[in-house]
Each structure stands twice: as structure tokens, then as C-alpha cells.
């Protein structure tokens, strides 16, 4: 199968030839022609200004009894019982989906001693919480948690499952998807129910340069992960009522072939970049490790996090956990301030989903200014202290 050219619409402009990463398109007799190298990546579909290219859709028989699957689930993540904010954010979008489908919104908690967490999930919108508890489920273990969730899914048959695209979610949810034989869409930024009742999952691909809408038409549950900070957290209602139901996983499920021997939590003074509303990132323009103190000061002042470019990490000025970009982390905070960052595409793909982007750079032609909302051409060593001063003045 390969991309389909609409012969009526193709004007042989050659844009698709340019963007095809596998050189599968040629212009033959004033018409784009696709050969067998095509991987159906979809880059040409978006590049064609004439909407002359489409991807084939396969019509295969439904392989599952789709009707018997009901309810929207949020797999709640927690660290030692404290529920991660991404789970509350998912309850926000989950509520909308459940209301549209007129079904229950359910949260799933796996671990031990989780009653408090269950209450919180109800306060954020869950109608019901499934609690799968056993001492053997602590600490978190990919295999046993995947087993337990798989058992629960097979028994209760939800229609939709949402989970956080955190290190934890990305690690064990794919195993569940394969175990229950269904599709999984990673890192969705938009979720909606279509007129056909299906879950329309929109996500960035190719580093956010292209968006794709994805369906899982013939299997259930429809599964999606969502990054932290992408969906809005709903208001907490301490009066809200919901059911808490215990689920006893089998002995087999709670046994894992992987032993977790030790876990270390690294204490950080500032927030983690994937969880902060504000990320202040420093590039090579910061010149040396000590200068990151300036950024840390701003981050503490604004309750934000400090990001870094790869060059900075390569220099050893900041640890890799702070790196934003293609080979680092993808962040989408409310505010991203890039200081002394040139704006290489490998960096930009990790932050272009931010709501507001500000750049401070002394070179007015730096490519970072192509992606900003607000650009400041200035020496960061002058500008940042001035900004800190202004903020402090206003606060006092």
C-alpha cells in the first residue's frame, strides 16, 4: 500500500518529491507517482497545497465485540500514594468524553494504601475508582502493574483508557495495549468523540511539525496517553461522591519477573521541566555553569523550572534531565523563556507546544525568533537582572 494521488488535483508541482524522506515520489508525465518505497508516513499529505494526496484506509472486519465495552477510564499515576497531577488533568478531559458518550468516568489505582488517593480522584471527577491493592504492588513495577491492569480491562471491558505519558505511563501502558490486543496512541494533545462515537485522537508527529488524527476503529478499548500539562486540570470538589470498588488481582498478576531492587528520588530545588507552568531555559549564551544561578533564581521566583539546550548539557553545565528537545524532553508549559538559545530545530521541536514563547538573544537574526510570541533582542546578562528587579519591585 502507498499514498494515493488524486489525478484530478495533482498539478505536478513537486512539493511532495521534496518532502518524501524515502524518495518514493517522482513526477512522471506531469503527475506525481508513488513507488513501493512509500512507508505511508504522511509527510507528503500535509505538504501538498492542492490536497491531492491521501493515505489509504483499510476496511477490515471488526475483530471484537465492540458494543460490550463501556466507560471511560483514567489510569491514575501515583508516587508513594500521592496522585500525580496528570491524572487529575486526564479526569478533566475524561469527564467530557464520558458525558458525550453518557457513560461512567472511572479512575484506576494500582498499588497499596491508596484510599486517600481514591478520594482525591473522586473530587476531581471520577464516578468510580477501582482500587487494586496488594503489598507486592509496591514499589511500582512495570510487569505486575501491566498484568493487573490487563486483568482488570479483560474483566470490566472499558471503551476508552487514558493514561499519562510520563516515564511510568510510557513504560507500562504499551505492554497492556499489546496484552489486550488493541491500539494505543501516544502523546495526544486533542481528544474528542466523533459523530460515529469513536475517539478522535490528535497528536503531533515528526517533532510537532505535523499533526495527525488517529482512530482505533476495530478494537477495544481505545487507548491513549497524554503528556502532563497538556490538558486543563478540573476544579476540585471535596463534596463530590463516588464509588470505591476493590479489585483483587490474581497471584499470577502480582508476580513480576523483574525485581525492583532500589529506587532513588533525586531531590531538586526547582520544579521538573515537564511539570512546571513556567520553564526558563538557558543555552550556550549563558557561557558557563555558574551563570545558571541566574536562571535558577528566576525559576524559584516564578515557581518554574530550569531547562537547558543540548549544547549546555554536553558542556556539563546542567544535567541531562533538564534538556529540552529532540534528544531531551518535550515540554509544553504556559510560558517558555529561552535565554541565549539559538533555536536549532532539534531544540524547537521540544518546546513549540508551549503556550507562550519568549526569547532573549543578542543576535536579532537568531532562528529562535521565528517561533516566539515575544522576542527580546538584548544581552541576557543585562536583561534578566532587569526583569528580576521589576518582578521583585511589583511584589513588594
Ligand X SMILES: Cc1cc2nc3c(=O)[nH]c(=O)nc-3n(C[C@H](O)[C@H](O)[C@H](O)COP(=O)(O)OP(=O)(O)OC[C@H]3O[C@@H](n4cnc5c(N)ncnc54)[C@H](O)[C@@H]3O)c2cc1C
* 93 phi-psi bin (left φ>0, alpha ψ -120 to 50, beta other): alpha
What secondary structure does DSSP assign to 110-157, as a single string? EESS-HHHHHHHHHTT-SEEEEEE-GGG-S--HHHHHHHHHHHHHHH-
What DSSP designation does 365 have?
A: T
- Which of 133, 150, 342, 354 binds ligand X (CB under 6 A)? It is 342
C-alpha cell at 70: 463501556
Among 27-35, 37-45, 56-64, 283-291, which window interacts with ligand X (CB under 6 A)? 283-291
Binding to other proteins (CB under 8 A): which residues in 47-66?
Answer: 47, 55-58, 60
Among 37-45, 67-75, 126-134, 243-251, which window interacts with other proteins (CB under 8 A)? 37-45
Cα separations in angstroms, 24 against 21, 34, 52:
8, 6, 16
Residue 118 CB, nearest approach to ligand X (Å):
38
Binding to other proteins (CB under 8 A): which residues in 137-196?
Answer: 139, 142-143, 146, 166-168, 170-172, 174-175, 177-179, 181-187
- Which of 62, 320, 363, 392 binds other proteins (CB under 8 A)? It is 320
Binding to ligand X (CB under 6 A): which residues in 310-329?
Answer: 310-312, 323-328
Query: Could you give the 3-state DSSP secondary structure of residue 322?
Result: helix
Q: For residue 8, with 0-12 CB atoms within 10 Å meaning exposed, 13-18 middle and 19 or more buried, which class applies?
A: exposed
Q: How many residues bind ligand X (CB under 6 A)?
A: 28
- Please state, in angstroms and rounded to a whole number, the distance separating the CA atoms of residues 239 and 183: 36
107-138: string of b/e by CB count within 10 Å (b at 16+)?
A: bbbbbbebeebbbbbbbbbbbbbbbbbbeebb
Rule CB under 6 A: is residue 353 a binding residue for ligand X? Answer: no
Residue 283 touches which of other proteins, ligand X, none (Cβ within 5-8 Å per kind): ligand X
Comparison of 164 and 340: residue with beta carbon closer to ligand X: 340
| Residue carrying C-alpha cell 513549540 | 352
The sign of the torsion formed by the CA atoms of 135, 136, 138, 144 equals negative
Rule CB under 8 A: is residue 26 a binding residue for other proteins? Answer: no
Rule CB under 6 A: is residue 291 a binding residue for ligand X? Answer: no
Cα separations in angstroms, 362 against 285, 295, 369, 375:
9, 17, 11, 10
| Among candidate residues 112, 154, 106, 146, the one with its CA nearest the CA of residue 130 | 106
Site string for other proteins, 218-247 (x = CB under 8 A): xx----------------------------
Rule CB under 6 A: is residue 222 a binding residue for ligand X? Answer: no
Rule CB under 8 A: is residue 13 a binding residue for other proteins? Answer: no
Q: At what angle do helices 115-123 and 85-101 cross, to 10 degrees?
A: 50
Rule CB under 6 A: is residue 298 a binding residue for ligand X? Answer: no
Q: How many residues bind other proteins (CB under 8 A)?
A: 117
Comparison of 298 and 324: residue with beta carbon closer to ligand X: 324
Comparison of 51 and 370: residue with beta carbon closer to ligand X: 370
Residue 381 CB, nearest approach to ligand X (Å):
5
Comparison of 81 and 207: residue with beta carbon closer to other proteins: 207
Rule CB under 8 A: is residue 336 a binding residue for other proteins? Answer: no
List interacting residues with ligand X (CB under 6 A).
283-285, 309-312, 323-328, 340-342, 344, 346-347, 350, 360-363, 366, 379-381
Amino acid at each position: 500500500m502507498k499514498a494515493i494521488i488524486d489525478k484530478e488535483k495533482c498539478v505536478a508541482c513537486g512539493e511532495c518529491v521534496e518532502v518524501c524522506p524515502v524518495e518514493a515520489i517522482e513526477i512522471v508525465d506531469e503527475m506525481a507517482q508513488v513507488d513501493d518505497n512509500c512507508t505511508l508516513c504522511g509527510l507528503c499529505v500535509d505538504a501538498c497545497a492542492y490536497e491531492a494526496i491521501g493515505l489509504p484506509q483499510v476496511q477490515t472486519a471488526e475483530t471484537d465485540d465492540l458494543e460490550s465495552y463501556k466507560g471511560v477510564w483514567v489510569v491514575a499515576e501515583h508516587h508513594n500514594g500521592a496522585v500525580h497531577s496528570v491524572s487529575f488533568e486526564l479526569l478533566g478531559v475524561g469527564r467530557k468524553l464520558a458525558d458525550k458518550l453518557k457513560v461512567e468516568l472511572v479512575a484506576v489505582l494500582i498499588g497499596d494504601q491508596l484510599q486517600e488517593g481514591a478520594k482525591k480522584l473522586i473530587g476531581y471527577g471520577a464516578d468510580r475508582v477501582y482500587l487494586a491493592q496488594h503489598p507486592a504492588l509496591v514499589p511500582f513495577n512495570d510487569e505486575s502493574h501491566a498484568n493487573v491492569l490487563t486483568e482488570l480491562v479483560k474483566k470490566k471491558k472499558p471503551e476508552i483508557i487514558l493514561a499519562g505519558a510520563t516515564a511510568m505511563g510510557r513504560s507500562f501502558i504499551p505492554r497492556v495495549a499489546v496484552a489486550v490486543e488493541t491500539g494505543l496512541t501516544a502523546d495526544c494533545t486533542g481528544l474528542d468523540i466523533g459523530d460515529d462515537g469513536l475517539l478522535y485522537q490528535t497528536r503531533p508527529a515528526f517533532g510537532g511539525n505535523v499533526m495527525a488524527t488517529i482512530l482505533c476503529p476495530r478494537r477495544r478499548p481505545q487507548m491513549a496517553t497524554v503528556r502532563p500539562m497538556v490538558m486543563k486540570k478540573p476544579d476540585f470538589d471535596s463534596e463530590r461522591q463516588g464509588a470505591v470498588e476493590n479489585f483483587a488481582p490474581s497471584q499470577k498478576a502480582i508476580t513480576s519477573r523483574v525485581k525492583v531492587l532500589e529506587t532513588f528520588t533525586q531531590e531538586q530545588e526547582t520544579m521538573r521541566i515537564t511539570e512546571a507552568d513556567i520553564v526558563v531555559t538557558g543555552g550556550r549564551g549563558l557561557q558557563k555553569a555558574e551563570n545558571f544561578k541566574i536562571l535558577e533564581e528566576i525559576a524559584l521566583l516564578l515557581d518554574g523550572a530550569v531547562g537547558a539546550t543540548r549544547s549546555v548539557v554536553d558542556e556539563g553545565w546542567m544535567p541531562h534531565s533538564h534538556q529540552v528537545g529532540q534528544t531531551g524532553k518535550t515540554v509544553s508549559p504556559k510560558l517558555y523563556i529561552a535565554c541565549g538559545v539559538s533555536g536549532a530545530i532539534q531544540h524547537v521541536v521540544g518546546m513549540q507546544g508551549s503556550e507562550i514563547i519568549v526569547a532573549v538573544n543578542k543576535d536579532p537574526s537568531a532562528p529562535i525568533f521565528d517561533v516566539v510570541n515575544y522576542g527580546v533582542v538584548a544581552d541576557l546578562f543585562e536583561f534578566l537582572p532587569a526583569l528580576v528587579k521589576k518582578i521583585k519591585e511589583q511584589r513588594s
